[in-house]
A and B are shown apart, each in its own frame.
Chain A
Amino acid sequence: MTKSRIIGGLFAALLVGGAGVIFALTWRPPMAAIDPPSARTFDADLVRRGRELAAVGNCSDCHTTRRGPNFAGGLPVPTPFGTIFSSNITPDPETGIGRWSEEAFRRAMRSGVDRGGRHLYPTFPYDHFTHVSDEDDRALYAYLMTREPVQAPLRDNRLSFPYNQRILIAGWKLLFLRRDAYQPDPGKSAEWNRGAYLVEGLAHCGACHTPRNGLGAERATATFAGGDVDNWQAYALNAQSPSPVPWNEDALYAYLCGGWHPDHGTARGPMAEVVSNLSSIPAGDVRAIATYMAGVFGAPTPDRQRQGEAVLAQAKSESTVASEPVSEGAAIYAAACATCHESGRAPPYGGINLAFSTAISAPDPRNLANIVLSGVRPVEGERSPIMPGFAASMDDGQIASLLKYLRSHVSKQPAWSGVSEIVEEARRTQTAFLQTAAGPRNAPADPSQRDQP
């Protein structure tokens, strides 16, 4: 045997071995299709629990299109890599999950693999759902399998090469999917631990509020430091929070239950759907989330506490309308905004005093531009905050002057850069967002369904 043949043989063995390793790491077996189980085979209490859990997970938000049937999927989710469409999670046997066993459902939640063995894109946040307990997965499965089946075929993702190669997802999982079950911290209260389990798992708060790296994974060194979703800024929820008045547990609880707080304003954009869902779950779970998140925010520094108290005191006293508007932005604020935002009517039905606005103190003006353009839509059939949008009556230049005025006059933060470009971009994306995102009509939060499975 010559030396070259030995090397050649070794090389071939390595190649075969390597291919075997790659195969083992990426291939997942399909799971057997089942006959769709009848809704009557599921225990009513389990289904009810599943409904609450689906609300914690905010499932309807991504899996329902505007004016589309609940959980039938098809929502385009923009990512830096292309557009991914959400899937149909109704129990339709052909286009939904009707033929999925509970085991297949649990595997999808745990490790992001569908019944047929395909790797799922992590827009489905299984990096969080992997922490959900078997018991909770069972309840979620029971809830979804008892919904109305809807025939709605999967829409093809719009991804370019190489992102359209699902084999890459297996590599992503090796790098970023930590499948360890949630470990309670015995040094903390039961409530804190319950909150940690929900926030880090099913509620997947970090999916929006934690910044992502170049490969689209949450940055482990920057948890809750603020992220992006649908061209909205998901604010930092740690010590870097831009909120003028520091958050505390009671404020978080009230905000997450009711969708607003007098010192912080109203949930809007993608967060409106989250609180709409949270309003329908047991108060104890919301309290647990608030307890845990208050710890993430941390106690404010004395300096920050003082600033918050100053804002509260100032908001109670003076009017912020300049007596003689000196700029276009000031004139627009006085004419179009102050009539509600300084009306003195109690929130949430009167406009919030803008000194409390996190949008105006935020690192960039995206959210403020979005809210001026689109306003706050009312929730159907419920008393709810409302603000008219100004997309049709203000042009981009007028909105940019208004934003610059608010930043310099209301916030203590340095001026924003690139305001005009951000307003133009906001107008483009808000139009798309309003056409595709689910409206405030949200299945689990529908009051008529609150006490039913």
Chain B
Amino acid sequence: MMTLRVNGYEYEVDAEPDTPLLYVLRDDLKLNAAKYGCGLGQCGACTVMVDGKAVLSCVTPLVLLEGKRVTTLEGLGTVSEPAPIQRAFMEEQAAQCGYCIAGMMMRAQALLQRNPKASDDDIRAELAPHLCRCGTHMRILRAVHRAARLMDTAELSPSDQRGAQ
């Protein structure tokens, strides 16, 4: 039994310490935004944030998460109240099949929290580990720029603040 802090809530999780975070998020906590892609930390679909940094949840076992804060896409915003990064991706229609997008958004969020003025090159380099086989790469780039502008100007909703803690 260990305590896992996800999106501001504490969960008592009954799992072995070598269980990947992704399995606990999806199977036990029913937080399904992070996707299972390769299971080897090579595609980026499972990306979440741990203490504000983008982390591949499929290769992050629970044993590493003692006392750390996990944030998933669900922790950033909701359908009725989307976070800037989610609004930006919707407004740019940046998802095609969408499987990789939750991971892309989480790494972009971590980038913009660290560097609100990220350049095109910064964004490209940061998202390079994320594989996408559809055709919206340019829209994804535009969405991240739009999110940066939204974060700069929009008032943060309470849920955003929780995600960005």
Q: How large is the interface on B (under 10, 10 to 19, 20 to 34, 35 or more residues)?
A: 10 to 19
> Are A67 and B125 in contact, CB atoms less than 8 angstroms apart?
yes
> Are B60 and A336 in contact, CB atoms less than 8 angstroms apart?
yes
> Are B60 and A332 in contact, CB atoms less than 8 angstroms apart?
no
What string of 1s and 0s marks CB contacts (under 8 Å) between B90-106 and chain A? 00000000000000000
> Are B61 and A336 in contact, CB atoms less than 8 angstroms apart?
yes
Asked if A305 lies at the interface with its beta carbon under 8 angstroms from chain B, I say: no
> Are B63 and A393 in contact, CB atoms less than 8 angstroms apart?
no
Bound complex: CA A393 to CA B22 (Å): 13
Give the chain A neighbours of B41 by CB distance below 8 A: 387-388
| CB proximity to A under 8 Å, residues B41-56 | 41-42, 50, 53-56
Give the chain A neighbours of B53 by CB distance below 8 A: 391-393
* A388-B56, A392-B55 given; A332·B121 CB < 8 A: no
Asked if B28 lies at the interface with its beta carbon under 8 angstroms from chain A, I say: no
> Are B63 and A332 in contact, CB atoms less than 8 angstroms apart?
yes
> Are A398 and B59 in contact, CB atoms less than 8 angstroms apart?
no
| CB proximity to B under 8 Å, residues A329-385 | 331-332, 334-336, 339-340, 378
Asked if A22 lies at the interface with its beta carbon under 8 angstroms from chain B, I say: no
Asked if A251 lies at the interface with its beta carbon under 8 angstroms from chain B, I say: no
Give the chain B neighbours of A388 by CB distance below 8 A: 40-42, 56, 59
Asked if B17 lies at the interface with its beta carbon under 8 angstroms from chain A, I say: yes
Give the chain A neighbours of B55 by CB distance below 8 A: 392-393
Bound complex: CA A335 to CA B55 (Å): 16
> Are A335 and B42 in contact, CB atoms less than 8 angstroms apart?
no
Closest CB pairs A-B (n = 9): A388-B41, A335-B61, A335-B18, A392-B53, A393-B55, A393-B60, A392-B55, A335-B63, A331-B63
Q: Which residues of A are interface residues toward B (Cβ below 8 A)?
A: 67, 328, 331-332, 334-336, 339-340, 378, 386-388, 391-394, 398
Q: Which residues of B are interface residues toward A (Cβ below 8 A)?
A: 17-19, 40-42, 50, 53-56, 59-64, 121, 125
Interface pairs (24), CB distance under 8 Å? A67-B125, A332-B61, A332-B64, A334-B18, A335-B18, A335-B19, A335-B61, A335-B63, A335-B64, A336-B59, A336-B60, A336-B61, A378-B42, A387-B41, A388-B40, A388-B41, A388-B56, A391-B53, A392-B55, A393-B53, A393-B55, A393-B60, A393-B64, A398-B64
Knowing that A393-B55, A394-B64 are A-B contacts, what are 9 other residue pairs whose CB atoms are under 8 Å apart, sorted by A's residue number? A67-B121, A331-B63, A332-B63, A335-B17, A335-B18, A336-B60, A386-B42, A388-B56, A398-B64
